[in-house]
Structure 1
Amino acid sequence: MSDRSDLLLEGVVGSFAYGLNTPASDIDYLGVYVEPTRTFLGLHPPTRDRGTRQGRDGADATYHEVGKAIGLILSCNPTASEILWLEDYTVATEFGAELIDLRSCFLSAQRVRHSYFGYAMAQFRRMLHRQETQGLGDARLAKHARHTRRLLWQGYELYTTGVLPIRLPDPEPYFEFGRQMMTADGAEIAKALIAEYERKFDEATSVLPRHPNEAPLEDFMQRVRRAHLDD
């Protein structure tokens, strides 16, 4: 993304943020930008499909337009939501900082459980597919395993505490889980972990509300659009 003047937020996400980076890991960036409001008034306004940009000076980077970002975070999409819970930011404007302050307004118990558990299951299916097609020697099996366990842990923490932890307190169990996935027993070990977390979710009492608090988010969006009307 060559023009960075419209960024509200940007930070490092992915393995480096989680503490799961290896020598082969790339640095991943995630950000939120804002389109000039006038672009929504013409014949071809930005749609959700067009509201994402890729690239940052050769690095892996994804940027969502603020309207799309808010929609994704309201659905508790794990990949989009983490931008509001990072420890540090490479860009944080006044509106970006306000969006961070509103992060709890996005949360709802059912969406958190559905999204994080759903994303973990998607990673698990990728693992099984790689086992079947590439064999146990595929190093990406370990990566999928690490992120399956991370998603389950993060989702449960968010569900039970209302806080999304980004950096893992001890990465080693996740690396060990990755190594286990590259053995003949890996699939069964992963199934057991998923069953364990499903039981934990069932038995837990969530601190999150049933529905997100959309009123402050609506007010925020209205002010962002008015502020960028003449850009």
Structure 2
Amino acid sequence: MPSRLAVPGVLLSGIVGSTAYGLARPGSDVDRLGIYAVPTEQLHGLHRPTESHVTTGPDRTLHEAAKWCRLALGGNPTVMELVWLPPELYEVRTPLGNELIDIRRSFLSATRVRDAYLGYATQQFRRLENRGDGSFSADTRKRTAKHARHLKRLCHQGLELYTTGHLTIRVTDPQEYHDFGEQVAADSSAARPLLAEYEAAFNENRSVLPDQPDEAAAEAWLRRVRAHLYTEAAKRA
């Protein structure tokens, strides 16, 4: 994987963001997200290991396994997409990474998915509202259109995950999202009906997800990661 930062112990990594959604255009950044595990013996020392590595050019974020699990259990949409990528977008897939994909639904719960996805979408809408009537610079207009696209995507993906327990990363009609972005860039109030529509849909639909995530499954996977790395280190000693 191309990067200016070499991080050992990567378990799972892939291309996320606009490229994964099918919303990228010429010149769009390619975002990468992954999970790594620090050597188990480092967890026993005085200082806490680094839990995230972030680089730009290329844009890459790696979370330590325990941190990724905590974020995913909280319903974080950004980290959650890593375990729902189309196979061709993975750049690193280890056996332990595949195990994580296999238990991906264990991290889900109705309340946290609703709060996270709808909450993130609402935050995007507040940003749009604060930018006014569209009479701003071309650069700001571009960012506004991008935020509007992601608002729509978060609403759609969140409701799908809430009602079906499945997350489709690539959108079915990218142009529809780009058109919506341009519409909202011209008038931020155009996003309000969409947000209201999805708020109503969350209220009206019953979730297939449990009330609480299965933390035991996440804990068991994390312990397998720690045991595997400890055993491998012992073999090399």
Structure 1, 207-216 or 124-133: larger mean CA deviation: 124-133
How far the C-alpha of 1:134 sits from its partner, in A, is 7.0
Are 2:218 and 1:217 aligned? yes
How far the C-alpha of 1:201 sits from its partner, in A, is 0.5
Instruction: Kindly provide the amino acid, as one letter, of the partner of residue 121 in structure 2.
Output: A
- Counterpart position of 1:34: 37
Are 2:134 and 1:130 aligned? no
Instruction: Kindly provide the amino acid, as one letter, of the partner of residue 33 in structure 1.
Output: Y
Are 2:174 and 1:171 aligned? yes
Question: Across the two proteins, how many residue pairs are aligned to each other?
Answer: 225
* Contact 1:73 1:106 (8 Å CA) reproduced: yes
1:182 to 164, 180, 185: 185
How far the C-alpha of 1:229 sits from its partner, in A, is 2.1
Relative to structure 1, the CA distance from residue 39 to residue 195 in structure 2 (aligned partners, 3 Å threshold; closer, same or farther) is: same
Which stretches in structure 2 are left out of the alignment for 5+ residues?
A: none
- Counterpart position of 1:54: 54
- Give the helix-richer structure, 1 or 2: 2
Q: Give the Cα separation in 2 of the matches to 1:218 and 1:140.
A: 39
How far the C-alpha of 1:126 sits from its partner, in A, is 2.0
How far the C-alpha of 1:24 sits from its partner, in A, is 2.5
Cα RMSD (Å) of the superposition?
Answer: 1.7
* TM-score of the two chains, using structure 1 as the length reference: 0.92
Seq. identity, % = 48
1:20 to 23, 31, 38: 23
- Counterpart position of 1:65: 64
* Contact 1:160 1:205 (8 Å CA) reproduced: yes
Which stretches in structure 1 are left out of the alignment for 5+ residues?
A: none
* TM-score of the two chains, using structure 2 as the length reference: 0.90
How far the C-alpha of 1:64 sits from its partner, in A, is 0.2
Q: Give the Cα separation in 2 of the matches to 1:144 and 1:92.
A: 30
Instruction: Kindly provide the amino acid, as one letter, of the partner of residue 53 in structure 1.
Output: H
How far the C-alpha of 1:133 sits from its partner, in A, is 9.5
Instruction: Kindly provide the amino acid, as one letter, of the partner of residue 36 in structure 2.
Output: Y
TM-superposition CA deviations, 1:113-157 (whole Å, max 9, x none): 000001111111222233479727421110000000000000000
* Contact 2:9 2:36 (8 Å CA) reproduced: yes
* Contact 2:133 2:188 (8 Å CA) reproduced: no
* Contact 1:136 1:182 (8 Å CA) reproduced: no
Q: Give the Cα separation in 1 of the matches to 2:118 and 2:203.
A: 12
Q: Secondary structure at the match of 1:191?
A: helix
Q: Give the Cα separation in 2 of the matches to 1:84 and 1:34.
A: 16
How far the C-alpha of 1:37 sits from its partner, in A, is 1.0
Q: Give the Cα separation in 1 of the matches to 2:190 and 2:117.
A: 19
Q: Secondary structure at the match of 2:46?
A: coil
Q: Secondary structure at the match of 1:179?
A: helix
